[in-house]
Amino acid sequence: MQFKHPEILWALFFLLIPIIVHLFQLRRFKKTPFTNVAMLQKVISESRKSNRLKKWLLLLSRLLVLACLVIAFAQPFFAKNSALQEKETVIYLDDSFSMQAKKDGFTLLEEAVQDLVKSIPDESSFSLFTNTKTYKDIELKSIQNKLLTLDYGSKQLTYNEISLKAKTLFSNSSATQKNLILISDFQEQLGKPSRDSIQDILIHLVDLKPDNTTNISIDSLFLSNTKKDQIELNIVVSGISEDESIPISIFNESELIAKAAVDYNPGQKTTIPISLSKNEAIKGRVSITDDGLNYDNNFYFNIDKKDKIKVLAISEPDANFLGRIFTEEEFDLQNFELKNLNYSEIDSKNLVILNGLSEIPTSLQTVLNAFHQKGGSVVIIPSTQTNINTYNILLSSLLGLKLTAKNEQGQKITAIAFDHPLFENVFEKRVSNFDYPQVKSYWEINSNNAKILSLANGAPFLIGGNNVYLFTAALDEKNSNFKNAPLIVPTFYNIGVNSLKSPELYTIIGKNTTIEVAKKIEKDRVLKVTKPGIEFIPLQQSFSNKVSLTFTDNPEAAGIYSLMNASDTLKNLSFNFPRGESVLRYQTIADFKASTVKNSIPQVFEKLAKDNSITQYWKWFIIFAMVFALVEVLIQKFLA
């Protein structure tokens, strides 16, 4: 038993006073003559014994009354040692998309918020954080409305990130009891706790689970089998159960343009192709209906009219082969002889090709270096009569290499780097017995740059890096038949396409993404990304021939956005949430070292209240004092 005011117990020493008075009290008796006292001796003796007993009982009852009153004022109570400690409470509330799963008709997040509002004491101070928001040292009334309007987000903190965040919200005091309440469905992507990730903190887990753990989602989209007048949109869907068929709709803004059904595909995701018009700009949305999570039932994409890639060829020999590759449908090709070249033309291009120049003037080297630094791509094709001194100055600055000597021994072009971005998705399988083109002579180099095409002796034929590509041999008909080989088309075509990053169908929110726009923007002009009710400025870098946009944290909502230059719409951009939480896989809670594991929030708060409860006894001692006072009255009345 413990006392709130133990100093009052010193008053018990005053109980000695009545005891002393009782023990040393002297009473004088008068002798009264009486004629016959023999007959009363026995009665007198018995009366004195009864009187002495009465006085002892009265003393005892009075002492007990006084003792009970003293103890009552000292306020005795019983409690665990932890109940007397100052408390700190930090709550983590998982607001990720997986909390959209339903239990008893309500989403897990809705249920958690309602239980928190009912369970947290009104006047208690606590800290609360979600995957994106933090509220420190607040009371329930100050954030109740924010909790009730809390929305779902795509970000999911790992268990160790939650631990580190929680530590920052607790004080450094060692005298307080620290309680961390984790409210989540504990999906696998939450991760396992590291050893000793949280020390000196009591962890209480609220493990929320939905009624249904199946979920159908649209995972991704991609284009394939592009035809002259049509493109094929492939929709990847996961989570379809056996004997189940899901209707899927494709919209262009609000107009329904296609509809199909997706069936069960055992053991893997289901891909369904949809044919769309190639020349039509589409602000698209793929939609399904599902009883699971809501966030992955819509997928946004856009197909804009593609900007033409601006290519400039500076040629001495015939360059007709470039015109057959860089067609007017996708490219804007200009070809000049060196003597007729206006250097100011270079600044506005995406790709510059030096085709068989015998030498590269210093003025052209300066312009090309500046062009490359601004994000332009350069292809260098030497001549059989190349002045290597002028070439090496440019190559040293662009690729960090030099041409060393001319090798007159003919070689076949036999090796293709199939994994290089230039040839990604070009070949259905790795070809090893194609009709090898050949060269009669080539320039030897010493370089660590990646080989894209190689000769039979292992020497590089085409190398590239940092938007610069070098052929080591002249491509004129006298030196090589590469112009007539099928390999030349994907090589130059992909170099051209890569010189301006084509817009993707969509972008994943939270993923670091760079998008290039082939527009020259006025100096100091800032591009904005807008959607009804949303507007932000992305990180951007302007070049002479394009603008590079980088997206990281923004936007936060899925949908189709417009890229605006003042009041002009340059293009549309589609953003979708990552699908990491679409597959509902949950962890085993036994892997977490926790003080408490419950299935509901009220259960945790009830346990905390019980552990912190204090049982007061002062009322009982008041009752005891009243009882002993009554006993005293009864003694005086009925005991002779």
Query: pLDDT per residue over 488-541, tens digit each?
Result: 888 999 898 888 766 678 999 988 888 877 677 777 788 899 999 899 998 888
* Matching residue, tokens 């690729």: 399
SS3 assignment, position 245: strand
Alpha helices in 256-313 (DSSP H): none
CB burial readout 379-394, b (16+ within 10 A) else e: bbbbbbebebebbbeb
Q: Residue 195's pLDDT is what?
A: 56
Residue 288 pairs with which residues in a beta bridge?
248
Residue 580 pLDDT > 90: no
Q: Is CATH 3.50.50.60 correct for 309-498?
A: no
Q: How far is CA 579 from CA 71, 123, 185, 267, 617, in A?
A: 65, 40, 17, 18, 58
Comparing 31-35, 49-53, 441-445, the range with the smallest average pLDDT is 31-35
Compute the mean pLDDT over every residue in the chain, rounded to the nearest whole number. Answer: 83
d(CA 54, CA 63): 14
DSSP H or E stretch at residue 414: strand 411-416
pLDDT tens, residue by residue, 255-280: 998 898 888 776 678 888 888 877 67
User: Is the whole model's pTM more than 0.95, yes or no?
Assistant: no
In which band, very low, low, confident or very high, does the pLDDT at 28 lie, cut at 50, 70 and 90? very low
Q: Is CATH 2.60.40 correct for 217-303?
A: yes
DSSP, res 526: -
Residue 59 pLDDT > 90: no
- Report CA dihedral (80, 82, 83, 88) to the nearest 10 degrees: -170
In which band, very low, low, confident or very high, does the pLDDT at 213 lie, cut at 50, 70 and 90? confident
Q: Residue 341's pLDDT is what?
A: 87
Residue 639 pLDDT > 70: no
Residue 568 pLDDT > 80: yes
- % of residues, the chain, pLDDT over 70: 87
Residue 102 pairs with which residues in a beta bridge?
107
The arithmetic mean of pLDDT across residues 317-330, rounded, is 85
The arithmetic mean of pLDDT across residues 358-377, rounded, is 89
Exposed, middle or buried, 330 (CB in 10 Å: 0-12/13-18/19+)?
Answer: middle
pLDDT tens, residue by residue, 8-19: 778 777 777 777
Angle, nearest 10°, between helix axes 362-373 and 388-398? 20
d(CA 561, CA 529): 6
One-letter amino acid at 332 equals: D
In which band, very low, low, confident or very high, does the pLDDT at 225 lie, cut at 50, 70 and 90? low
Q: Residue 624's pLDDT is what?
A: 79
The arithmetic mean of pLDDT across residues 275-295, rounded, is 85
Q: CATH code for 85-212+589-613?
A: 3.40.50.410
The arithmetic mean of pLDDT across residues 153-164, rounded, is 88
Nearest to 596 by CA among 314, 206, 214: 206
| Edge-first strand listing for the sheet containing 245-252 | 255-263, 245-252, 282-288, 298-303
Omega of the bond leading into 555 within 30 degrees of 0 (cis): yes
Residue 335 pairs with which residues in a beta bridge?
313
Positive or negative torsion for Cα 448, 417, 368, 314? positive
Q: How far apart are the first and last CA of the chain?
A: 39
Nearest to 122 by CA among 144, 137, 138, 141: 141
d(CA 347, CA 355): 18
Instruction: Output 366-375 pairs: Cβ under 8 A, ≥24 positions apart.
Output: 367/343, 368/394, 368/398, 369/394, 369/397, 369/398, 371/346, 371/347, 371/544, 372/398, 372/467, 372/468, 374/347, 374/543, 374/544, 374/545, 375/467, 375/516, 375/543, 375/545, 375/546, 375/548
pLDDT tens, residue by residue, 326-367: 988 888 899 988 888 888 888 888 899 999 898 999 999 999
The arithmetic mean of pLDDT across residues 174-198, rounded, is 80
Alpha helices in 452-501 (DSSP H): 488-498
In which band, very low, low, confident or very high, does the pLDDT at 196 lie, cut at 50, 70 and 90? low
DSSP H or E stretch at residue 635: helix 618-638
CB burial readout 561-600, b (16+ within 10 A) else e: bbbbbeeeebbbbbbbbbbbbbbbebbeeeebebebebeb
252 Cβ contact list (under 8 Å, min separation 6): 280, 282, 283, 284
Residue 287 is encoded by which pair of tokens? Answer: 């939609």
In which band, very low, low, confident or very high, does the pLDDT at 201 lie, cut at 50, 70 and 90? confident
Exposed, middle or buried, 629 (CB in 10 Å: 0-12/13-18/19+)?
Answer: middle
**Which is more confident, 50 or 448?**
448
